[in-house]
Structure 1
């Protein structure tokens, strides 16, 4: 009787674990889909307002940097956060493929966090290193990051979520192509493939 009861308890525990894991996976997938939909619908107002500008941030090595550290180079910039379950790693993988296709040392890829409270320089270093050796990760104080978000017309909002260390970040998901003098050239939405982006950049650079 005791053996049967223990066996039944073990089976029920296993079922509960599977169901719990499934619910957790569903919640993460649902959250990812919601963030992706929101991110794709919020575009910077590049038509009338200036997008971009100077910044003073901290790179993944803990060094203070400004836009002048990347002067004379085109920049591919993506805004996100390291706790992002799908959108950010997908876009950074895409950026890495673009860089491999272009093989252009005059293009500097940059990942700027929208979540500086969790994304310290050390965290950023471990994160960006997983995608491409040339990608620079930038963080800073909340005030510094908020200034950059405002200048680049980035949408970012904290959303409470117990599954993701307390909260997630809703944020716009565009890759910015910036000129050597830090002016916005164009935006690439999440729907664009690495091949489409690389081809567009080649055409723009050849025409300049």
Structure 2
């Protein structure tokens, strides 16, 4: 049985090699000659003094590379390889008859499929250009609307700033003060009274802390803290001078007649009301607990109630300074 199996394998190998030589007969030029001169491993004779070894299994492989024009004859077991350059006729995709393999058919199929098609990258580029143009147009329209809105707002603020919240009071040194004295400076206003047990000192401490935080930033303009009394009967110039010493050194205390304070309270919508007097002729004044922010044009810009801490107020003032638009030249 092994003998029969070996004879059959050898016969199949010789048949494959004969078939390969017949196919080589159809090749023209050097390719056919090279294939016809190639010997089957079984045809080699043993050298003198040596013994013949059984030929290794021979698997013929003929492949054609259509793009480079190479014809390869390979023997996987014996290592035989011959490469012969063949010529292709201009415009021809297929090689000589009988030498087309799966590789050549696949390459030719790819070469013949050359119909123009729009690529995905081109589509994406066109879509991006159209989208960018639309976004640019929308942005220009948005800028124009914002410009008109700012102009209307600026006109309204100019009208509001003229004559609104103006005052003529005395500071802690007895010097007359008006609103125009603080034009060109950011200012924080707080309305209270010197006999306030706890709320006013707490708010003035917070306002002083805000001013100190802003003073640390050299790029920001200084902020002027101002304390205005709502108890004109008891808070004169001397009382204001003693009271504000416990707070920021730049703080200014303002007082005046009850009529002047009332008029100023209406301008800033500050509510205050004196309570009943006790046996010592002492009383508590109920009032609005708000810190007002005025910009350099003397315009009310923002306010901060008791729920805002010093850090939040300082950050808000920084933002207002960055977005500030000068109303008057």
Q: Is the TM-score greater than 0.5? A: yes
Q: Displacement of 1:164 after TM fit?
A: 7.4
Unaligned runs of 5+ in 1: 1-49
Which runs of structure 2 are paired with 1:2-81 in the superposition (5 Å)? 52-81=164-193
Shift of 1:163: 7.5
**1:78–1:174 contact (8 Å) kept in structure 2:** yes
| Bigger RCO of structures 1 and 2 (CA < 8 A, at least 6 apart) | 1
Q: Say whether the 8 Å CA contact 2:295–2:301 is kept in structure 1.
A: yes
Describe the SS at the equivalent of 1:94. helix
- The answer to whether the 8 A contact 1:157-1:169 is kept is yes
Measure the CA separation in 1 of the matches of 2:239 and 2:205. 18
Separation of aligned partners in 1, 2:301 and 2:263: 20
Give the RMSD, CA atoms, in angstroms.
1.6
From 70, 89, 92, give the equivalent of 2:204: 92
90, 108, 117: which one pairs with 2:224? Answer: 108
Counterpart pick for 1:177 among 263, 288, 293: 293
Higher strand share: 1
SS in 2 for 1:167: coil
Quote the Cα distance in structure 2 between the aligned partners of 1:63 and 1:201: 28
Residues 163/102 of structure 1: CA separation in 2 closer, same or farther (3 Å cut):
farther
Find 1:129's aligned residue among 227, 245, 251: 245
Alignment CA distance shift 1:141-1:201 (3 Å): same
> What stretches of structure 2 of length at least 5 have no aligned partner?
1-159, 325-329
Structure number, greater radius of gyration? 2
Query: How far apart are the structure 1 equivalents of 2:221 and 2:227?
Result: 17
Q: Which residue pairs with 1:43 in the alignment? A: none
Partners of 1:109 and 1:173 in 2: how far apart?
15
Q: What is the TM-score normalised by the length of structure 2? A: 0.46
